[in-house]
């Protein structure tokens, strides 16, 4: 998607980072510049904006459209700072595979989302005798804009996201599990990007999706945007600033990788976050899950091809670049969100980054036109 809803700052239409001339890295994006450029990957989202208080949602990622419990995909996990509630993490690490979709919600909705993922998995044809499901549910805390104690996510919302998951363009910004999130002092949200390797390096595609809700000093393709626009962590050296929060990163690739190399790949997501100026603060939960869709590495299997270690470096670079751009898209596509504090009833606002000011800044610093 190259466009979006109205920007409350200046009335301009939202756009993706590339339309502003931001093109992180050296590898080209896929056709959609989204995680769904990896063939077979499906994304579904439900956005909940109800009354004055509820600003939340669900984002579901399905590695393929079949029975994932019967055709599991290898996966790896990386954790930079473990201040979070990533359900299913220990079994994912132990067995190195996904047997359920990945669902992203807010912190206090993890339990309900797990129940829904279990219900959905048990209902799949062929799973009538299944007695255990490792539901993988990630979260960030959207309580700055959403009345999180109401736990506005119902099981039906998670099921709708799973059933509605499709290939094709992925909605970004203030949607799904990113509806109420903030990043770097501005409105954050869902962002996605992809990279294609040349045939000489394997010809693989790698896609990233992020739920951005963290802080630091925002960098955009090397430009010190946070400092220039006056919003960054430790700005006054006495204020905790906009560093606490969390981020969930999901990486998908069609490269035939083992769970071991997928864990190595997931770790590179943290380098992509670092390129955006992430503070990785004490109160931040920074998680990345990487999985492979290659048919030859699906479980169960006796043996499988594994891309050699010495040829992993281009995929590492692709992961770093795609994560960086996905975060930028989550910011530039986000729209301003308003709500009320449930205790004080005061108005709250998550202000979208001003694209007009951003364009002027980038033009003054030599960024190419979009």
- Cα angle 46, 344, 157 (rounded to 5 degrees) comes to 15
Whether 174 is catalytic: no
Of 193, 194, 246, 339, which one is the catalytic site residue?
246
Q: Catalytic: 246?
A: yes
pLDDT class of 1 with cuts at 50, 70, 90: very low
Tell me if 126 sits within 8 A of 70, measured CB to CB: yes
Q: Where are the domains of the chain?
A: 17-339
Active-site annotation holds for 242: no
286, 292, 330, 339: the catalytic one is 286
Closest CA to 55 of 179, 168, 158, 150: 179
Sheet arrangement for strand 136-140: 42-50, 54-62, 102-106, 136-140
Q: Is the pLDDT of residue 180 over 70?
A: yes
Select from 226, 235, 240, 230 the least CA-distant residue to 327: 226
CB 158 within 8 A of CB 118: no
Reported as a pLDDT band with limits 50, 70 and 90, residue 364 is confident
Tokens for 126? 């062929």
Confidence of residue 7 (pLDDT cuts 50, 70, 90): very low
> Out of 212, 284, 330, 339, which one is annotated catalytic?
284
Question: Between vectors from CA 85 to CA 159 and to CA 153, what angle results, nearest 5°?
Answer: 30
**What is the C-alpha separation between 213 and 233, in angstroms, rounded?**
14
pLDDT of residue 314: 98
Q: Among 205, 208, 202, 203, which residue's Cα sits nearest to residue 307?
A: 202
**How far is 183 from 178, CA to CA, in rounded Å?**
10
Strands (E), 51-112: 54-62, 73-82, 97-98, 102-106
pLDDT in tens, 327-355: 999 999 999 999 999 999 999 999 999 99
> Against a cut of 0.85, is the pTM above it?
yes
Q: How far apart are CA 214 and CA 245, in angstroms?
A: 4
Q: What is the CATH T-level fold of the domain 17-339, as seen in this structure?
A: 3.60.70
């Amino acid at each position: 998607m190259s466009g979006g809803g109205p920007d409350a700052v200046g009335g301009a239409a939202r756009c993706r980072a590339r339309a502003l001339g931001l093109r992180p890295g050296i590898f080209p994006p896929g056709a959609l510049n989204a995680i769904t450029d990896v063939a077979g990957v499906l994304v579904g989202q439900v956005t909940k904006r109800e009354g004055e208080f509820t600003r939340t949602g669900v984002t579901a990622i399905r590695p393929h459209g079949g029975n994932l419990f019967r055709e599991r995909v290898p996966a790896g996990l990386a954790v930079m700072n473990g201040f979070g509630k990533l359900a299913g993490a220990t079994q994912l690490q132990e067995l190195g595979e996904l047997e359920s979709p990945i669902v992203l919600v807010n912190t206090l909705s993890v339990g309900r989302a797990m129940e829904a993922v279990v219900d959905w998995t048990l209902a799949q044809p062929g799973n009538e005798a299944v007695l255990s499901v490792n539901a993988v549910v990630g979260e960030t805390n959207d309580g700055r804009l959403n009345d999180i104690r109401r736990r506005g996510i119902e099981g039906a919302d998670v099921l709708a996201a799973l059933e509605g998951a499709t290939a094709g363009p992925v909605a970004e910004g203030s949607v799904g599990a990113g509806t109420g999130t903030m990043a770097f002092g501005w409105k954050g949200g869902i962002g996605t990007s992809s990279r294609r390797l040349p045939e000489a390096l394997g010809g693989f595609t790698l896609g990233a999706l992020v739920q951005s809700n963290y802080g630091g000093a925002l960098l955009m393709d090397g430009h010190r945007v946070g400092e220039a626009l006056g919003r960054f962590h430790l700005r006054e050296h006495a204020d905790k600033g906009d560093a606490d929060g969390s981020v969930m990163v999901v990486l998908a690739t069609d490269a035939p990788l083992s769970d071991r190399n997928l864990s190595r790949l997931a770790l590179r997501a943290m380098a992509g976050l670092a390129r955006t100026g992430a503070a990785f603060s004490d109160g931040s939960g920074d998680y990345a899950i990487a999985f492979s869709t290659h048919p030859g590495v699906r479980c169960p299997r006796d043996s499988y091809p594994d891309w050699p270690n010495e040829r992993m470096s281009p995929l590492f670079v692709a992961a770093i670049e795609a994560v960086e751009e996905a975060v930028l898209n989550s910011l530039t596509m986000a729209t301003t969100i308003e709500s009320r504090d449930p205790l004080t009833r005061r108005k709250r606002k998550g202000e979208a980054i001003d694209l007009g000011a951003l364009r002027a800044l980038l033009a003054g610093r030599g960024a190419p036109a979009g």
